[in-house]
């Protein structure tokens, strides 16, 4: 984690070093007032007649010195704080961008392993915690530390015994307090963050499945699922507050013991004549001045510890996402072999979910421009094969090549131009129609956008919108059919070499299925397509059909060939078309 932060901090080193020097100077200005007051005490008691800083004690000169020290110290503190916060903000901004980028480019396998709540929590709540600490706690802590260093040096300059009191009496108490806190707090913060992520996952599930919950009147089910993570978050928050309260109690104890020891030391030194009354006054004022920076530093430790835990989770997310590919894989992926190659080549593909084998020994080649259907019963492995070909799931064994390149080794932007996946669930952002389309091609002209809409049958509808392409749209406002058609329009704009469609019409109503089927055919025309199909009427229109069962391909051929063969495909067709194995009604089966 420190290495990841260090790489991003390196360009900010001049700003960091400058802020430390300025804050040290500001802390030095803060010592002027106790020093002047000590000199005034000595002047009143006749111990000193003139001082280099205030001369003979002229009130106007004393006031001027104090005013200049106050204004200069405040200005330097502001500059140093701004510089340190600016450097830290830049580091956090870089981490935030990388965290969100990593969350958006996680492959399906890793995203499922983490869970949606964990991904959202790390890229939102944890980033917010780090940002808050950077903007408030970190600058205050840096200023406090520099103030402590300068003040201790000033006390040692008056007499070594004063500094010794700090080292012998207060430092052990502070060290014990901080050590106890660091032993108790980090596990609590990590557990709290994990439970917050679990709670966020439940909320996200409830939002996504809201229609199902309302349909079955199962609101109580959602509330019950929130009880345990919500209660655990509350309990962990209380436990962290207890640890923080103990930290504050240790700070107060150290201050009490330190002041008592300092007063005793002052009494001894005054009795022996080792220091003057003014010097003793200055030392005591220096020590009292330490209350604020030491207390600030230790009290900010709570917020900094919380931010440190969040920072670790963010860096872990960035590490999981990585760069999306390894350099050697990327080099191998973009160097496609010369000459014509099959559009898709799958060799000895195995995919496992934990200990369960979902796909076993699948091998096939798909020629360019071919539309291949993957059919079979639920759980046969169709969607898994499609996800591996699209590069969103990593195979356990075997290899996949799309246009001669490994889709898993390509950067996400490059992969999208090679192979595009259209799943059953497609999202429309609350933005304009133009913005939703140009997600696939940011530089696309209006003519290209209208061509894409025309290809999927949305041009007439879009032409009736009051603001045309600049009309705001939402997922709920468009409905499932138009959302799916809009996703297909994005594919038409992207124009990938290969399109992978995962049951594009399985959720459509009987009247909508044909509309979607025509849009799919238009997008896949003169393009290689692999389609996971539930309704076998759609498979009959494909150039080739692969029948899967138990994670393996058991039949391969055209629709007519497989019907004549009388195997597993014929059984599936007969089950969905009781009127006869040779019929093609054009309407989807049940």
Provide the terminal-to-terminal Cα distance of the chain, rounded to the nearest Å. Answer: 54
In CATH terms, the fold of domain 7-321 is: ABC transporter transmembrane region fold (1.20.1560)
Which of residues 153 and 335 earns the better pLDDT score? 153
DSSP string, 544-575: EEEEEETTEEEEEE-HHHHHHHTSHHHHHHHH
CA atoms of 33 and 285, how far apart (whole Å): 9
Neighbours of 442 (CB within 10 A): 8
Residues 227-256: pLDDT tens digits?
888 898 899 989 988 988 888 888 888 888
pTM metric for this prediction: 0.57
CA atoms of 283 and 262, how far apart (whole Å): 9
Mean pLDDT in residue range 80-94 = 77
Mean pLDDT in residue range 108-116 = 61
For 260-312, what is the HEC assignment?
HHHHHHHHHHHHHCCCCHHHHHHHHHHHHHHHHHHHHHHHHHHHHHHHHHHHH
Residue 360 is classified by DSSP as E
Residues 360-393: pLDDT tens digits?
999 999 989 889 999 988 888 898 899 899 888 8
- Asked if residue 450 has pLDDT above 90, the reply is yes
Sign of torsion, CA 148 149 155 160?
positive
Q: What is the pLDDT of residue 105?
A: 66
Sequence-distant (≥ 6) Cβ neighbours of residue 405 within 8 angstroms: 333, 334, 336, 418
Mean pLDDT in residue range 381-407 = 88
CA atoms of 589 and 510, how far apart (whole Å): 9
Residue 117 parent element (H or E): helix 116-123
User: Tokens 């300092």 map to which residue?
Assistant: 262
User: Tokens 């078309």 map to which residue?
Assistant: 577
- Asked if residue 16 has pLDDT above 80, the reply is no
- Asked if residue 587 has pLDDT above 60, the reply is no
CA atoms of 403 and 222, how far apart (whole Å): 46
Mean pLDDT in residue range 159-179 = 84
| CATH homologous superfamily, domain 341-576 | P-loop containing nucleotide triphosphate hydrolases (3.40.50.300)
- Asked if residue 524 has pLDDT above 70, the reply is yes
Contact (Cβ atoms closer than 8 angstroms) between residue 4 and residue 55: no
Residue 431 parent element (H or E): strand 431-432
Domain coordinates in residue numbering, the chain: 7-321, 341-576
For 438-454, what is the HEC assignment?
CCCCCCCCHHHHHHHHH
pLDDT band, residue 51 (cuts 50/70/90) = low
- Asked if residue 588 has pLDDT above 50, the reply is no
Neighbours of 454 (CB within 10 A): 16
Q: Which tokens in the block code for residue 181?
A: 């806190």
Q: Which tokens in the block code for residue 488?
A: 């297909």
Sign of torsion, CA 374 344 567 540?
positive
- Asked if residue 546 has pLDDT above 90, the reply is yes
């Amino acid at each position: 984690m420190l290495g990841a932060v260090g790489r991003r901090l390196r360009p900010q080193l001049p700003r960091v070093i400058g802020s430390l020097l300025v804050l040290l100077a500001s802390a030095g200005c803060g010592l002027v007032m106790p020093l002047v007051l000590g000199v005034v005490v000595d002047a009143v008691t006749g111990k000193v007649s003139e001082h280099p800083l205030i001369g003979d004690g002229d009130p106007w000169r004393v006031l001027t010195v104090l005013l200049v020290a106050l204004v200069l110290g405040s200005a330097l503190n502001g500059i140093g704080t701004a510089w340190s916060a600016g450097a830290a903000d830049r580091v956090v901004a870089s981490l935030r961008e990388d965290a969100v980028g990593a969350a958006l480019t996680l492959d399906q396998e890793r995203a499922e392993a983490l869970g949606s709540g964990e991904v959202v929590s790390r890229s939102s709540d944890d980033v917010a915690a780090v940002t808050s600490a950077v903007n408030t706690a970190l600058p205050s802590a840096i200023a406090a530390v520099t103030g402590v260093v300068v003040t201790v040096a000033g006390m040692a300059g008056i007499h070594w015994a004063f500094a010794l009191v700090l080292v012998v009496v207060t430092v052990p108490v502070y060290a014990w307090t901080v050590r106890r806190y660091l032993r108790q707090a980090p596990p609590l913060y990590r557990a709290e963050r994990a439970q917050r992520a679990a709670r966020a996952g439940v909320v996200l599930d409830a939002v996504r499945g809201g229609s199902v919950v309302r349909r079955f009147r199962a609101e109580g089910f959602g509330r019950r699922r929130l009880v345990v993570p919500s209660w655990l978050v509350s309990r962990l928050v209380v436990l962290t507050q207890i640890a923080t309260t103990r930290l504050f109690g240790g700070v107060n104890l150290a201050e009490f013991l330190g002041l008592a020891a300092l007063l005793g030391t002052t009494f001894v030194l005054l009795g022996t004549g080792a220091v003057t009354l003014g010097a003793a006054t200055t030392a005591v004022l220096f020590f009292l001045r330490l209350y604020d920076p030491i207390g600030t530093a230790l009290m900010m430790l709570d917020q900094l510890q919380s931010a440190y835990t969040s920072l670790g989770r963010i860096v872990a997310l960035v590490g999981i996402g990585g760069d999306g590919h390894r350099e050697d894989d990327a080099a191998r992926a973009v160097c496609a072999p010369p000459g014509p190659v099959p559009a898709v080549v799958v060799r000895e593909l195995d995919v496992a979910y934990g200990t369960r084998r979902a796909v076993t020994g699948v091998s096939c080649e798909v020629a360019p421009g071919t539309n291949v259907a993957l059919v079979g019963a639920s759980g046969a492995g169709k969607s898994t094969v499609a996800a591996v070909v699209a590069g969103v799931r990593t195979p356990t064994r075997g290899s996949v090549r799309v246009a001669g390149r490994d889709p898993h080794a390509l950067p996400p932007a490059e992969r999208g131009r090679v192979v595009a996946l259209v799943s059953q669930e497609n999202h429309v952002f609350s933005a304009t129609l133009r913005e939703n389309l140009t997600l696939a091609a940011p530089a696309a002209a209006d003519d290209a956008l209208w061509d894409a809409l025309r290809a999927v049958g949305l041009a007439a509808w879009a032409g009736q919108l009051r603001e045309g392409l600049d009309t705001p749209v939402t997922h709920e406002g468009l409905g499932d059919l138009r959302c799916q058609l809009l996703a297909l329009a994005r594919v038409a704009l992207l124009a990938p070499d290969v399109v992978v469609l995962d049951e594009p019409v399985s959720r459509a109503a009987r009247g909508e299925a044909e509309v979607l089927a025509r849009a799919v055919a238009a997008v896949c025309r003169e393009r290689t397509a692999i389609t996971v199909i539930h309704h076998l009427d759609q498979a009959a229109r494909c150039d080739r059909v692969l029948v899967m069962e138990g994670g393996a391909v058991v039949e391969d051929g055209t629709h007519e060939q497989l019907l004549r063969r009388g195997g597993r495909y014929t059984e599936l067709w007969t089950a969905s078309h009781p009127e006869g194995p040779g019929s093609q009604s054009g309407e989807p089966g049940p």
